Amino acid sequence: QVQLQESGPGLVRPSQTLSLTCSVSGDSSNSDDYYWGWIRQPPGKGLEWIGYSSNSGRYYYNPSLKSRLIMSEGTTNNQFSLMLSSVTSADTAVYYCARASGSRGYYGFFQQWGQGTLVTVSS
């Protein structure tokens, strides 16, 4: 059973860059069958898709965040990362990393999730 775990600072200053890493452990077989992504949830609100990547290295970003967003593979195997620049209080949220599965060529339902990490943007 695959497990995902987010890590990174819980407090980020306004205008700075939010950086998070997701560590993946467990069953890595058939890894080409999955996409790896990020979703966030402001306190008391709904879910927002941030972006995801395929194992072929193609990245898909939410247009609302694209100008501030960089996703990448991590510095070690079985990790991937998120960087969101020029943050404001509107970026305060629980950030989840997740593994997306697909059917009939459409990837995007999230079957495995990390526990989430709260990132607060405040001075």
Partner 1 sequence: IVLTQSPGTLSLSPGEGATLSCRASQSVSGGFLAWYQQRPGQAPRLLIYAASSRATGIPDRFSGSGSGTDFTLTISRLEPEDFAVYYCQQYVSSPLTFGGGTKVEIK
Q: Rule CB under 8 A: choose which of 36, 38, 80, 110 binds partner 1.
A: 110
Comparison of 49 and 121: residue with beta carbon closer to partner 1: 49
Kindly determine how many residues on this chain lie close enough to bind partner 1 according to the rule CB under 8 A.
Answer: 23
Question: Across the chain, which distance is largest between two alpha carbons, in Å?
Answer: 46
Q: Rule CB under 8 A: choose which of 17, 25, 88, 109 binds partner 1.
A: 109
Taking CB under 8 A as the binding criterion, the range among 9-17, 40-48, 67-75, 76-84 that sits at the site for partner 1 is 40-48
Beta strand segments in 26-122, E: 35-41, 48-54, 59-61, 69-73, 79-84, 93-103, 106-113, 117-121
Q: Rule CB under 8 A: choose which of 49, 53, 87, 121 binds partner 1.
A: 49
Can you say whether the dihedral through the CA atoms of 12, 17, 59, 22 is positive or negative? negative
What is the contact surface with partner 1 in residues (CB under 8 A)? 46-49, 60, 62-64, 96, 100-101, 103-104, 106-111, 113-116
